[in-house]
Amino acid sequence: MKLSEHVARDGISNRRHPAMVGIVVASLLAGYSGPAAPEELAGDVVLAADAKTVTWAAIYRKPAPGGEDPWYHIEVIEKDRGSEPWVFRRLAAHMAITPTALLASRSNKRAKTYGYKNEQFITAYRQWQGRSPEIRDGQVCRSTVLDCLKRVRED
């Protein structure tokens, strides 16, 4: 339905009234609480974006309530801008990361991300779960995603 049809049917005006603008702005500001808290992170988090590539983390598991598993579990994807959707690089099939480190990893840039099948994530996540708690804890990223990827490549 076109906007003009909504206006005719519902009596909605598309003209801006100064009082209405003030109410909308006040409502938006009242709901703004600054940067996202770790518990608000979901979906995809852009890590880096430039003219050529976009790198993002797909969040598949959030920290479990009760502290049983306090980490985010992500997959890291990189894609060249302008390439076909199915052409991408999986930089990490699974990474466990602290909420603080994931927040520190987030770029302020916006970019288009894609959803891919998470079969490799599931396999890598199950392998991680099968390790002893001491080994798992030692493999948690505590700095930033990109920093942890560099360290893994150097080892």
pLDDT at residue number 142: 96
- Per-residue model confidence as pLDDT tens digits over 73-117: 999 999 999 999 999 999 999 999 999 999 999 999 999 999 998
In this prediction, residue 129 carries a pLDDT of 93
What pLDDT sits at residue 40?
A: 58
Q: Which residue reads 């938006």 in tokens?
A: 28
Q: What angle is formed at CA 115 by the lines to CA 110 and CA 117, rounded to 5 degrees?
A: 155
Confidence of residue 68 (pLDDT cuts 50, 70, 90): confident
The predicted pLDDT at position 31 comes to: 34
pLDDT mean over 135-139: 91
Domain assignments of the chain as residue spans, ordered by start: 1-32, 38-154
What is the token pair recorded at 118? 């998470």
Q: Give the number of other CB atoms < 10 A from CB of residue 145.
A: 25
For the segment 121-137, the average pLDDT, to the nearest whole number, is 93
Class of domain 38-154: alpha beta
Return the higher-pLDDT residue of 1 and 149.
149
Which residue type occupies 41?
A: L
Contact 95, 147 (CB under 8 A): no
Place of tokens 């306090």: 70
Tens of pLDDT along 13-63? 344 444 433 333 333 333 333 344 445 567 899 999 999 999 999 999 998
- Minimal CA–CA distance to 41: which of 100, 110, 115, 86? 100
